[in-house]
Amino acid sequence: MSQIPDPESERKGVRDGTRPPRAVVGSHRIEDEVFGRAFDKNIVRRIWAFVEPYRTKAVIAVVAVLICAGVQLLIPLIIRYAVEHAITPGSRDGSALLAAAGAFFLAILVNRVASYMQQSVIGKMVEVVLFDIRRAMFGHLQKVSLSFMDQTEVGRLMSRLQGDVSSIQEFLETSVLSVGDIALLFGIIFVMLWLDLSLGLLTLSVLPVLFIVRMFWLPSARNAFMAATETNSATNGALAEAIHGVRAVQSMDRQQVNFLLYDDKAHANLKTQLTAAKYAQVMVPIVDTLTGLAMAGIVLGGSKVLNDRIDVGVTIAFLFYIQRFFDPIRSLTLQYSVMQRAMASGKRLTEVLDLDIEIHDRPDAKALSPQMDGSIEFRNVTFGYDPKHPVLKNISLKVSPGETVALVGPTGSGKSSAIALVHRFYDVQRGQVLVGGYDVRDLTQESLGRQVAMVLQEPFLFTGTIFDNIRYHRTDVRRDRVIEAAKAVGAHDFIVSLAGGYDAPLGERGGNLSLGQRQLISFARALVADAKILVLDEATANIDSYTEMLIQKALTKLLEGRTGLVIAHRLATIRNADRIIVLQNGEVIETGNHDQLMAMGGLYFKLYNLNYASFDDLAEEQLDITAQRGGQT
Amino acid sequence: MNSHADGAANNPRNPFAHVEAAGWGQGLRTLTRITYMNLRHRWQVAIAIGSTFIAAALQLLIPKLLGQAVDQVRMGEGISGGTVEQALWTSALLLLAVSVLRGLFTLAQNYFAESVGHHFAYELRLACYDKIQRLSFSFHDQGHSADLITICMLDIEGVCWYFSTALVRAVLLAMLIGIGAYMLLSTNLELGVVALSFVPFVAWRSSRTQLKLRATWDELQGRLSVLGRVMEENLCGIRVVRAFAAQAYEMLKFERVSQNALALAQERADIYARDTSAMTFSFFFAMGLVLWIGGSKVIAGEISVGTLTTFLTFMTVLQMPVRQIGLMINAFARASTCGSRLFGFLDLDITIKDAPHARPLEISEGTVRFDNVSFAYPGAENRQILRNISFQARKGETVAIVGPPGSGKSTIAHLIPRFYDVTGGTITLDGQDIRNVTLSSLRRAVAVVQQDPFLFTTTVENNVAYGDPWANEPRIERASESAQLHNYILGLPAGYKTVVGERGVSLSGGQRQRLTIARAMMLRPSVIVFDDSTAAIDAATEQRIRSAMRRFAKDRVTIIIAHRLSSVMHADQILFVENGEIVERGTHEELLVKARRYEALHNLQTRPRDDDGAN
């Protein structure tokens, strides 16, 4: 009896605590730059453009902030007045006390209104500005070229729309408040010097000390904080991986190894967190010591009273100021890193906002009427994502109204690009694409989209009900039309069998439906859109034979009475087409129906005779080559 | 989806909903448990709490010293002499010493309190990680991943700050407010009452605000995540959006959920602004009263100016802690809700685990045997997925399972490595019931090649060697060659070192499936199960994989689940499964002759109206 092939030596490592050479958990994430320059004029200007519409509110907020700072300054002065004029032995005066108390209450009433105004106006305004920024970015992304969207990870864009917008929030909120901090700081300095020059200078002498200490502290503290954030997100990343990959982990029995590796990460995180805590806390005794020094100085300075220079009131006022003294400095140094973060985020936001929009409606663009004939024509079209490497080379083809044309050809032959051009996802480099007899560039994109329905290879469903998904943007369509469409494509039966029927909520991206079912729903969606022209990229993934039959029938139904341009993968679809166009390397090499093409004995004949149920079964090698090319660029 | 968000917006919000939902009794149990777990870090807890006591006492000394100093200054007026000056020096040095000490003890208090929290978080993280790895498939099937992320990230954080922001702060606040109140009241009862009058109001107000903000925070996160989802789906489905020229519709959808979140965010800003300004006002109001009444008392000669200074500085000292009562209450509430969710997760039962006397699996022949196996998913026991499944496969044999979607074919695959436990009958490997052997040995012996495999964001070679991280390069390359992946990998920018997965180079469905085939071969399993795992691989490549694996398959049992007949027709035995039962069995040739269903499937897959004839 042999042990299962799981040599003891391999497992021993785990027990020793050594880590296997090829094991990692929670791979390294490539993070964006966290801190930028502290101040970037251009970025501030861009952000300001979003604040500009609300500038009255901004002004009100700043005024309110200044009033609050003023009241903070005034209170010790009122106390001093009371001490000096009302309750010192020499001048005990009830009415002066009353006046002081009256002034005090008046000041705090003003403060109450101002502080409410300040916080409420800032808070609300900042929220609106954020949503405006987000809307501008989101709206812009609706228009930028598809090739950009294809090359960009959605996660990256989402972190612009969420994370980066949030750091702008922090920045906006704190920048108004720091106006108050600066005012308060200078106010306190000014008042102290005014009350008593030498005592003021004595007290202020601790300030440079604090600045110098913070100057040395800040760089290493920031590194410590960044390290803490980094290890924390690395640990969380590993945890997320464990959650999402749990099946793979369990089925390959990697739990022990992974636990050890995770422990390494979590422990490293513990260490950086503790270091960061040390850095954060070390400032406490320093600030306290300086406060103590200043207070001692004032108490001693108070002995100048002996020489009859100042009085108790001033001493008390100073003591009050000292307790407020360090707050603005503390928050201002924090503000520095907030600004750096905001500049880095702002840079990324403006990058999104500045993305080129390549496809515009012409100023005199016409709306494509639903009464157009439904023809498609390519006239000498040359097109490439990179103009130096055209994907379509001088192509001419015509699809007559009501005709179904199948596009076939190996991967990379330009089929997908051709149908993308009908919809004007991209503009041609040379030649013309005509829909209903009009150059697509002369039409509004909106009206073109209404008349050209498109079904993509990968069905995409949105969170929501099945009804929402079939109806999609045609909010004017009634429920019975939706049901009718579902029946027509053969989706009705499985829909009503779901709990909730048409109102059944779909899991994330329709995860609770099979690929075939999602495909049928996307067919129904195209049917509801009721366009004259249907452009379709047949699904390549292997759907089980039962669902495939349904889809084949639905397809026939969908193409009834419409002009169809279909990228066909299945022989059944190809054979049902009125005409077949064979593309290779961006050129039309054969045209005709099945029999004609078979008689020609060209590429189609060769492909067909390889005897597979689908043309895709041929393409894997070529697919590998194109994928590699894509991976390198 | 909009209906969800709208519905939530129309619900009247109850700021205490989360507290009520947790239930006070359960909440208290949770807090006790958290406290107990924190106390295990005995020394750090002792230092933190001890420092808190000392720091609070020192902080209370400062107003006293200041008042004393002011009186000394006052007394000094008009009198000359060394005594006063000496007294002032003493006061000044005392002030400095007390300030320094207070700073140091506050440092110790904060640092050790945080440290306890971080250590606690570290332990909880490990516990959660371990739990995730142990929980059975039936748990993970319920689609908990978003909840798990919340628990393992936000809830751990909520609980780990409990010690510093709730417990230590409670001690600190009790000290400051308690002793402070005693000192004020004993100095002058009337003025003390006035000075403290803001405390209950601010305490109540700040607690209410914090709880309200907390409740609306959850709600706001919900609305923001709806907004996030709308944006993300739009960007992922941008081709659909463009294809239907639905940008206007999408903008409208965005606008609606965006406004929904905005309204709440603004409301929260307002709650905050209203309450903080009210709290500041009540504090200043009390201060004004102290100034007025205290001033009158000074005029009347009842108290000294120094005492008045003590009162006023006391109030400034107390202001922050009193405001923090709200934060503290919030920290308790947060720890209680986060804690109950977290412990709810950590206390979950693990359904599939080693039996008490489980022994490592011992393989000699490697025969897999199903005896009258039936199965239903946990929680849906009355819906039988499999019934009376019996078959046997020996070393070197291939068993193929076909059938319509939903017939239960994949379930059969998942039972062999015990992703689920059978509800009737037995599965044995060389005569050993799989429930009596250790899970670890079983899963190393049975490799399942999944339909939609998970790629880890790491290099290709690490992904291939996932189950055997000690493997050397030649072995990884051999497995990749057999899976027809080697040439593709060599073409990648960094070859075997290329990072793939979510954040790396993305692979097509077929390439992913081939990678998992290589991954399974690395395990050198006794049983290899292909769970519809060649669907995205073209027939020609699949053929090449099969011939490359011929030697590999000789030493093990191969089970293939597929719907493409070309993948299964070479099997030694084909089982046709329908509604959870084996309805037809035999070799391809036998079935074509005698089996109606298999033949129907065969006809579906050969070319329609093809006069050349299939094969």
B519 touches A: beta carbon within 8 Å? yes
B315 found inside a domain: yes
Nearest-neighbour CA in chain B from A500: distance (Å): 15
Q: How far apart are CA A54 and CA A36, in angstroms?
A: 27
Residue A272's closest chain B neighbor by CA? B118
Does the distance separating the beta carbons of B281 and A108 come in below 8 Å?
A: yes
Q: How far apart are CA A72 and CA A66, in angstroms?
A: 10
For residue A160, is pLDDT > 80?
A: yes
Residues B292 and B425 in one domain: no
Does the distance separating the beta carbons of A3 and B362 come in below 8 Å?
A: yes
Q: Is B438 exposed, middle or buried (0-12, 13-18, 19+ CB in 10 A)?
A: middle
Least confident of A35-49, A581-595, B469-483: A35-49
A273 touches B: beta carbon within 8 Å? yes
B351 found inside a domain: no
Least confident of A11-15, B129-133, B174-178, B538-542: A11-15
Q: Best mutation site among A79, A164, A253, A330 for testing chain B: the one with the most B CBs within 10 Å?
A: A253
B196 found inside a domain: yes
Q: Which of residues 359-378 of A touch B (CB under 8 A)?
A: none
Closest to A146 (Cβ–Cβ): which among B239, B417, B535?
B239
> Across the A/B interface, how many CB contacts are shorter than 8 Å?
493
The phi and psi torsions of A45 (rounded to 5 degrees) equal -65, -40
Residues B140 and B30 in one domain: yes
Q: How far apart are CA B522 and CA B524, in angstroms?
A: 5
For residue A623, is pLDDT > 70?
A: no
For residue B394, is pLDDT > 80?
A: yes
Percent of chain A with pLDDT over 90: 23
Least confident of A7-21, A327-341, A599-613, B337-351: A7-21
* DSSP structure string for A128-172: HHHHHHHHHHHHHHTTS-HHHHHHS-HHHHHHIIIIIHHHHHHHH
Closest to B467 (Cβ–Cβ): which among A79, A252, A613?
A252
Q: Which of residues 133-192 of A touch B (CB under 8 A)?
A: 134-135, 138-139, 141-143, 146, 149, 153-155, 157-158, 161-162
Nearest-neighbour CA in chain B from A394: distance (Å): 25
B59 touches A: beta carbon within 8 Å? no
Residue written as tokens 């003890």? Answer: B105
Residues B159 and B47 in one domain: yes
Q: Which of residues 327-386 of B touch A (CB under 8 A)?
A: 360-364
- E strand or H helix at A215, and its extent? helix A206-244
Residue from A499, A473, A467 nearest A485 by CA: A467
Closest to B262 (Cβ–Cβ): which among A127, A235, A270?
A127
Percent of chain A with pLDDT over 70: 87
Residues B284 and B381 in one domain: no
Task: Write out chain A residues lying below 8 Å of B124, CB-based.
Answer: none
pLDDT at position A21 is 81
A5 compared with B461, residue with greater pLDDT: B461
For residue B277, is pLDDT > 90?
A: no
Residue A10 — pLDDT band, cuts 50, 70, 90? very low
Residue A543 — pLDDT band, cuts 50, 70, 90? low
pLDDT at position B8 is 33
Q: What is the pLDDT of residues A387-444, one digit of tens each?
A: 888 889 999 999 999 899 998 877 677 888 898 899 888 899 999 999 999 999 999 9
Residue written as tokens 């697919």? Answer: A623
pLDDT at position A617 is 47
Does the distance separating the beta carbons of B122 and A631 come in below 8 Å?
A: no
Residues B270 and B385 in one domain: no
* DSSP structure string for A508-572: GGGTTS-HHHHHHHHHHHHHHHT-SEEEEE---S---HHHHHHHHHHHHHHHTTSEEEEE--BHH
Does the distance separating the beta carbons of A473 and B248 come in below 8 Å?
A: yes
Task: Write out chain B residues lying below 8 Å of A105, CB-based.
Answer: 285, 288
Residues B245 and B208 in one domain: yes
Task: Write out chain A residues lying below 8 Å of B261, CB-based.
Answer: 131
For residue B411, is pLDDT > 50?
A: yes
Q: Best mutation site among A252, A307, A427, A474 for testing chain B: the one with the most B CBs within 10 Å?
A: A252
For residue B599, is pLDDT > 60?
A: yes
A113 compared with B276, residue with greater pLDDT: A113
A477 touches B: beta carbon within 8 Å? no
Q: What is the pLDDT of residues A509-524, one digit of tens each?
A: 666 777 778 888 988 9
Residue A195 — pLDDT band, cuts 50, 70, 90? confident
Residues B323 and B379 in one domain: no
Q: Check which CATH number belongs to the domain holding B458 and give it.
A: 3.40.50.300
B91 touches A: beta carbon within 8 Å? yes
Nearest-neighbour CA in chain A from B245: distance (Å): 5
Residues B335 and B385 in one domain: no
Residues B373 and B340 in one domain: no
Least confident of A141-155, B107-121, B429-443: A141-155
Residue B16 — pLDDT band, cuts 50, 70, 90? very low
Q: Which of residues 155-214 of B touch A (CB under 8 A)?
A: none
B192 found inside a domain: yes
For chain A, report the end-to-end CA distance as a whole number of angstroms.
Answer: 53
pLDDT (mean) for A224-229: 86
Closest to B538 (Cβ–Cβ): which among A464, A572, A617?
A617
Does the distance separating the beta carbons of A252 and B254 come in below 8 Å?
A: no
B353 found inside a domain: no
Residues B208 and B76 in one domain: yes
ipTM of the predicted structure? Answer: 0.86
Closest to B539 (Cβ–Cβ): which among A6, A253, A612?
A612
Q: Which residues are CB-contacts of B278 (< 8 A; sequence separation ≥ 6)?
A: A112, B205
Query: Is there a contact between B478 and B485 (Cβ–Cβ < 8 Å)?
Result: no
A267 touches B: beta carbon within 8 Å? yes
Assigned token pair, B72? 């000394």
Q: Which domain holds residue B466?
A: 368-605
pLDDT (mean) for A29-42: 67
Assigned token pair, B3? 């209906």
Residue from A572, A571, A477, A573 nearest A525 by CA: A477
A476 touches B: beta carbon within 8 Å? no
Q: Best mutation site among B104, B191, B284, B597 for testing chain A: the one with the most A CBs within 10 Å?
A: B284
Residue B63 — pLDDT band, cuts 50, 70, 90? confident
Nearest-neighbour CA in chain A from B611: distance (Å): 12
Residue B503's closest chain A neighbor by CA? A29
Q: To 5 degrees, how large is the angle CA B189–CA B191–CA B192?
A: 60
Does the distance separating the beta carbons of A97 and B292 come in below 8 Å?
A: yes
Residue B18 — pLDDT band, cuts 50, 70, 90? very low
Residues B129 and B64 in one domain: yes
pLDDT at position B359 is 92
Does the distance separating the beta carbons of A299 and B91 come in below 8 Å?
A: yes
pLDDT at position A66 is 92
Nearest-neighbour CA in chain B from A379: distance (Å): 22
Nearest-neighbour CA in chain B from A307: distance (Å): 8
pLDDT (mean) for A256-274: 93
pLDDT at position A50 is 93
Q: Which of residues 572-591 of A touch B (CB under 8 A)?
A: 572, 575
For residue A446, is pLDDT > 70?
A: yes
Residues B287 and B139 in one domain: yes
Task: Write out chain B residues lying below 8 Å of A449, CB-based.
Answer: 242-246
pLDDT at position A540 is 57
For residue B323, is pLDDT > 70?
A: yes
Q: Which residues are CB-contacts of A611 (< 8 A; sequence separation ≥ 6)?
A: B612, B614, B615
Does the distance separating the beta carbons of B132 and A75 come in below 8 Å?
A: no
B263 touches A: beta carbon within 8 Å? no
For residue A450, is pLDDT > 80?
A: yes
For residue A493, is pLDDT > 90?
A: no
Q: Which residues are CB-contacts of B604 (< 8 A; sequence separation ≥ 6)?
A: A545, A546, A548, A549
For residue A545, is pLDDT > 80?
A: no
Task: Write out chain B residues lying below 8 Å of A6, CB-based.
Answer: 441, 444-445, 524
Does the distance separating the beta carbons of A456 and B239 come in below 8 Å?
A: yes
Closest to B608 (Cβ–Cβ): which among A22, A572, A627?
A572
pLDDT at position B327 is 81
Nearest-neighbour CA in chain B from A253: distance (Å): 6
A423 touches B: beta carbon within 8 Å? yes
Residue A536's closest chain B neighbor by CA? B243
Residue A17 — pLDDT band, cuts 50, 70, 90? low
Q: Check which CATH number belongs to the domain holding B124 and give it.
A: 1.20.1560.10
Structurally, how many domains does chain B consist of? 2
Q: Annotate A435-463 with b (16+ C-beta within 10 A) or e (fewer).
A: bbebebbebebebbbbbbbbbbeebbbbb
pLDDT at position B429 is 94
A95 touches B: beta carbon within 8 Å? no
B80 touches A: beta carbon within 8 Å? yes
Task: Write out chain A residues lying below 8 Å of B456, CB-based.
Answer: 24, 27, 241, 245, 248
